Chain A
């Protein structure tokens, strides 16, 4: 079985602020990590490979330094890493990103399961996984919290919904996006770290994966960011002081109307 895991390198924290003087994002010194949700996707790929045999390929689109994310995935146990890096990809929104990844997956070929994190922690869109599925004309199971069974032809997985879960069966190949509940990602082993150091990361440019320039980067992205700004800060709150017998009635007086209103 061939597992392809799509990962994204993101800033380590979402605690980024706009410098009010220069109106720029203050990201200096913020380290880059693998998107936390993608860690669960890598781990699930490795667990499935342990059961069925096969290979786990990690795939990322990003600047040259995103190679570090692929090496980290290899240190966890992934077999190989492919980086899609080209100026032609600059300015990609989720449409162009999912197109580009899908073209690379076509080139990889012979895939059975494509795994993604449910969303990236910087953009939070959750659109790239389903986008890849459509570009490849594949079924999808999103928000997977558990894989119940997997054989050469079929997968049965549980999809986390707002009020429970669905059990979904799909033929392979299939695209999965996974949530945190699915597993606990392993730490890299010493052997893995050695392998990651030595691994040769394949880099593909737009031409290597037969991308149509109409569909990549800025040109292939229907959406355009026109403004970024800091949300208005929350007003400083009011501290209620005293013994529980004093603060509880105060709080109830403050909340009563809002609670009656919210019930309607």
Chain B
């Protein structure tokens, strides 16, 4: 196997490629020597090729597309439903999908799978879908990885969408990872920005990596559909316009595709709270500073008054003060609410990775040097046990509760 990237004799040893490599994969022992590329670090991103003014770097080109890309039309959105309720992430995807469809001059379509779900198509049209592909079957009442993926694979092969968006939820990530592999599509996870490249008309998918410390923009130049999962609470929901008109296409699916080897036996809702923190517009989150499980009651009280979900740091979860499903951060959930109130959380880098894209961050901590204050919009250095009750009480008054 020959190397997929090489520096040839045109090299003048200028070192521009060494500086250009984002991965530190190119080194130059001394001036007047040809730089060396460490292939274990190189990702073949091509930054060095662009930086080299002497055409001295050769990179293996991907073969051109083997499929006719122009056959792929329209922007699709997977309509996630739980128990027949369309989830808010779907409305966010429709809001973003509308913009993409308009700049491509294509239709925006929603794909809805479920049982007795036909009544929900109007909602999708009111939120901007020009067309709804509907598969209404008893087997599809609840999400099942294999049957849902089989149906989407079938629909993609049949109708050839250009762009296919899905929420970066548990269901979304489990589902479209299967679809993308089977239809040979590129899939970008957990996008926070989407745009159409004006020149190539490709979808530019921007996403955080390394816990949000680095952003990457990704393209799928030679395959279709261009698939992406999109982070919740980043895109704006499409507005409702009941006067909008749209088409509903009832899709028939072969029986065999509706079968699933793995079966859902039951669903057990979490009893601790009714609010899913990934969905919450406001999150009140507690850490080590709360000291005991009982003290979480102080947080819950405030959360009730201001309509917030309750989150927690890893330290609080590891102390068994609150279940793991509330953990925010690198080994827990990544959240992006309008307001994040961190109480008694020092703000370790792993925690910040899970919440630093929140619109407003409030930090309450007794340690003035806690790193949480570096990302806080508003910070209060003080005793949370004195501040929290007053905050709850006064919010209750102000909000008329």
Contact with B along A234-258 (1 / 0, CB 8 A): 1111111100110111011011101
A130 touching B40, Cβ below 8 Å: no
One of B187, B204, B219, B398 near A127 (C-beta < 8 A): B187
Indicate if B235 sits at the interface (CB-CB under 8 A): no
Indicate if B105 sits at the interface (CB-CB under 8 A): no
CA–CA, A130 and B180, complex, Å: 10
Nearest neighbor of B21 in chain A, beta-carbon distance = A24
B145 touching A130, Cβ below 8 Å: yes
One of B44, B395, B399 near A218 (C-beta < 8 A): B44
Indicate if B328 sits at the interface (CB-CB under 8 A): no
Name A's B-contacting residues (CB within 8 A). Answer: 11, 13-18, 22-25, 27-28, 36-37, 62-65, 86-88, 90-91, 93-95, 98-99, 121-127, 129-131, 133-135, 138-143, 145, 156, 159-171, 174, 179-181, 206, 217-219, 221-231, 234-241, 244-245, 247-249, 251-252, 254-256, 258-263
One of B23, B180, B377 near A238 (C-beta < 8 A): B377
CA–CA, A25 and B41, complex, Å: 11
B278 touching A231, Cβ below 8 Å: no
A-B contact pairs, 24 of them (CB 8 A): A14-B211, A23-B22, A25-B214, A87-B3, A91-B4, A91-B42, A127-B177, A130-B178, A131-B181, A139-B145, A139-B260, A142-B145, A142-B173, A162-B278, A180-B324, A206-B1, A218-B4, A219-B63, A226-B217, A229-B215, A237-B376, A240-B379, A244-B387, A248-B391
Contacts of A62 in B (CB 8 A): 40
* Given contact pairs A124-B209, A228-B216, A91 touches B268 in the complex (Cβ within 8 A): no
Which one, B96-104, B121-129, B356-364, is touching chain A? Answer: B356-364
Top 5 closest A-B pairs, CB basis? A222-B186, A63-B40, A14-B211, A130-B177, A170-B262
A256 touching B398, Cβ below 8 Å: yes
CA–CA, A262 and B306, complex, Å: 10
B324 touching A95, Cβ below 8 Å: no
B338 touching A258, Cβ below 8 Å: yes
Indicate if B253 sits at the interface (CB-CB under 8 A): no
A13 touching B349, Cβ below 8 Å: yes
Indicate if B345 sits at the interface (CB-CB under 8 A): no
One of B185, B189, B325, B375 near A160 (C-beta < 8 A): B325
Indicate if B394 sits at the interface (CB-CB under 8 A): yes
CA–CA, A139 and B178, complex, Å: 10
Contacts of A217 in B (CB 8 A): 4
Contacts of A86 in B (CB 8 A): 1
Nearest neighbor of B174 in chain A, beta-carbon distance = A142
Indicate if B146 sits at the interface (CB-CB under 8 A): yes
Contacts of B10 in A (CB 8 A): none
B213 touching A17, Cβ below 8 Å: yes
Q: Which of A15, A91, A95, A174: most chain B Cβ within 10 A?
A: A91
Cβ of B199 to closest chain A Cβ, rounded Å: 12
Contact with A along B367-401 (1 / 0, CB 8 A): 00000011111111111001100110011001100
Which one, B106-114, B155-163, B220-228, B242-250, is touching chain A? Answer: B220-228
Contacts of A121 in B (CB 8 A): 211, 330
One of B22, B149, B178 near A24 (C-beta < 8 A): B22
Contacts of B375 in A (CB 8 A): 234, 237
Contacts of B379 in A (CB 8 A): 237-240
A134 touching B173, Cβ below 8 Å: no
Indicate if B70 sits at the interface (CB-CB under 8 A): no
Contacts of B188 in A (CB 8 A): 223
A162 touching B22, Cβ below 8 Å: no
Q: Which of B23, B214, B276, B381: most chain A Cβ within 10 A?
A: B214
One of B45, B276, B324 near A145 (C-beta < 8 A): B324
CA–CA, A180 and B266, complex, Å: 22
One of A25, A123, A252 near B24 (C-beta < 8 A): A25
Contacts of A171 in B (CB 8 A): 261-262
Nearest neighbor of A122 in chain B, beta-carbon distance = B210
Indicate if B55 sits at the interface (CB-CB under 8 A): no
Contact with A along B178-219 (1 / 0, CB 8 A): 101110111111100000000000001000111111111111
A162 touching B279, Cβ below 8 Å: yes
One of B19, B170, B209, B261 near A162 (C-beta < 8 A): B170
Cβ of A116 to closest chain B Cβ, rounded Å: 11
Contact with A along B7-37 (1 / 0, CB 8 A): 0000000000001111110000000000000
Cβ of A76 to closest chain B Cβ, rounded Å: 18
Contacts of B382 in A (CB 8 A): 244, 247
Contacts of A94 in B (CB 8 A): 177, 187, 189
Contacts of B19 in A (CB 8 A): 22-24
* Given contact pairs A130-B177, A139-B146, A162-B276, A125 touches B190 in the complex (Cβ within 8 A): yes
B44 touching A222, Cβ below 8 Å: no
CA–CA, A29 and B93, complex, Å: 40
A167 touching B266, Cβ below 8 Å: yes
Nearest neighbor of B142 in chain A, beta-carbon distance = A166
A263 touching B40, Cβ below 8 Å: no
